[in-house]
Amino acid sequence: MKKMLSSLLVLSILSGCMGDEFNTDLLVDDVNVNAGVAIPLAKTSVTMEDILSDQTDMVKYDGENIILFQENDSLEYVGINDFFRLSASSVDLSVPFVAFNTQPSYAATEELTFSIPNAEVYEMELNYRLSASGSNLEEPLLLTVAIPVSNVSGAVREVVIEVYNGQTTVQSFAGDRISLLQNKVDLGLSVQPLYGGANYSTSIGNVTLTIDELSLNYVKGTMDENQVTMDEGIYELDFDVLKDIPGDIEFADPQLSIIVDNATPFMGEIAAGLSGRLNDGSIMPLSSEPFTIDGADSGEEVKRSRHILTSANSNVSSFIAKTPEQLNYGGILTLNPGGVYGDEVELFDEDRIYIGYGFEVPLELRLNAALDEEVVELGDIDMIDDLTKGNIVITSVNSLPIGASATIDFYEEQSASIIETMNIDMVKPALVNAEGKVSEAVESIVEVTLTDKQIESLKAASELRVRVQLNTSDYEKGQMVIFQRQNALEMQLGIRGKIEYNN
């Protein structure tokens, strides 16, 4: 948008359009001087489509209407490790060392319980880590752990670990298929002295076995209502075309979509937490009521739900008007609310719920804005020194629904001061109909006669400092205007006057 405004005002090309390209015939001929000269300052001819040509990834067209958009449909996801939040209890084995005086080993069966909130798992494919440590051991032990799994020969994974006092020994495993009963599995444990001594005392040693770093690849089971906290994250908003809009801007119908792709059969409800980080570092909340998402039907790979924030159900219009640099997101997902879906499910790691965001901002708006000051260097325009009479002439044919006026300060470098100020109506906005679409281009010739004092100030000035005020068509009537792809501006700015050479 800043490029659009700069193109409108020709401030971005003031030094790039001198010379033969400037059509002096478009300037007013009669400025009441005997001998004249045309001093070109600027020229432009541009359509909205030209202006937005380097924003092709952010612009789409609905016929002639322009829509700015940005979408990422898979910023975050929740999956089986969020739904089935596994943790496991440690297993403690008491070791009566005296038993080794009469037998080579000591064996026991211990129950390993998995904590799985709001769910029961019958089978899972698991990545995990086993850790073993000892205390009060008369001698280091050799621990054998038998884990019932279906993906190894004999349906039992045997893990052998050396156990020492005050030390932890670790082994990791991936892809083991484990069956559970009431979220429990029986482990076979066997210990024997590492060095095979004799005459052990009646002391009782302890071996602690821990299973952690649990990660599911597959799960079969049932799940009740389950609440998942979605990770907080940041979505970089890349609307440079909007970012530098100054002043008061009001969009007619911007939209933000929360896009959810659900590959599970569970319905859900999302209470999104959204806010934006503005250019000044402040945070602006974006309101959103909780919304439901559909579960995938049998035979359906994924179900897409889209919750759209509009001016009717949120503050998205004022949010977009502030053009935040980032969207901060997070929230709470309630999966299977009310436990309605009670069937057994089989889910793999790729069966996820993806959450993304999309913006659509039609260029339908009201604008009352003061642009940042721009500078026109005068040092290279030698004819100004010989100017005795002159008019500033601006000719334009405008089918953009926006107009501009300017305040021009004559800045004198030696005194570091403003020595003259002028106010000029530069471009009149196009006429629009009740819908806000341009109904008629407006041709205008703006001519400002320079006084003798202003001419002397122009000669003394090293630069012109231009402050521009923009207003969309019929702004004071509350009219929203629609920018369309072929809306255009042709404009020339120059000085027509009389010069006297002082050789």
Give residue 292's pLDDT.
97
User: Please, which residues have CB within 8 angstroms of residue 195's CB and are 6 or more apart in sequence?
Assistant: 139, 140
| 217 and 234 belong to one structural domain | no
Residue at which a domain ends, from 347, 364, 381: 364
Question: Are residues 493 and 41 in contact, defined by beta-carbon separation less than 8 angstroms?
Answer: yes
Q: Confirm if 494 and 41 have CB atoms less than 8 A apart.
A: yes
Shared domain for 359 and 437, answered yes or no, is no
Residue 323 and residue 412 in one domain: no
The model's pLDDT over 429-466, given as tens digits with 9 standing for 90+, comes to 999 999 999 999 999 988 888 888 988 888 889 898 98
- Is the pLDDT confidence value at 35 over 50? no
Structure tokens at 59: 């612009």
Give the range among 141-145, 407-411, 457-461 with minimum mean pLDDT.
457-461
Cα–Cα distance for residue pair 183/123, rounded to 1 Å: 9
Residues 322 and 394 in one domain: no
| 3 state SS of 439 | strand
Element (H, E) at 247: none
Given this model, what pLDDT does residue 10 score? 35
Residues 73 and 25 in one domain: no
- The structure tokens listed for 399 are 């089918």
Q: What is the residue range of 336's domain?
A: 59-81+224-364
Of 43 and 25, the one with more pLDDT: 43
Are 184 and 244 contained in the same domain? Answer: no
Residue 496 has pLDDT above 90, yes or no: no
Instruction: Tell me, yes or no, whether 102 and 229 share the same domain.
Output: no
In DSSP terms, 168 is beta-bridged to 133
User: Does residue 318 share a domain with residue 301?
Assistant: yes
Which of 221, 240, 262 is at the close of a domain? 221
Indicate if 241 and 344 belong to the same structural domain.
yes
Say if CB 102 and CB 198 are below 8 A apart: no
pLDDT(410) > 80: yes
269 and 322 belong to one structural domain = yes
Identify the CATH number of the domain in which residue 394 sits. 2.60.120
% of the chain residues with pLDDT over 70: 87
Q: What is the pLDDT of residue 244?
A: 55
Mean pLDDT of 135-148: 96
Selection from 424, 398, 401 nearest residue 472 by Cα: 401
pLDDT of residue 411: 94
Q: What is the mean pLDDT of the chain?
A: 86
- Considering the domain architecture, whether residues 291 and 347 belong to the same structural domain is answered as yes
* pTM of the predicted structure, to 2 decimals: 0.78
Q: Give me the mean pLDDT over the 405-432 stretch.
A: 92
Q: What is the pLDDT of residues 210-246, one digit of tens each?
A: 999 999 999 999 999 999 999 999 999 876 666 655 5
Q: pLDDT tens digits for 268-327?
A: 999 999 999 988 899 999 999 999 999 999 889 999 999 999 999 999 999 988 888 899
The domain total for the chain is 3
Residue that terminates a domain, selected from 221, 240, 275: 221
Same domain, 164 and 188: yes
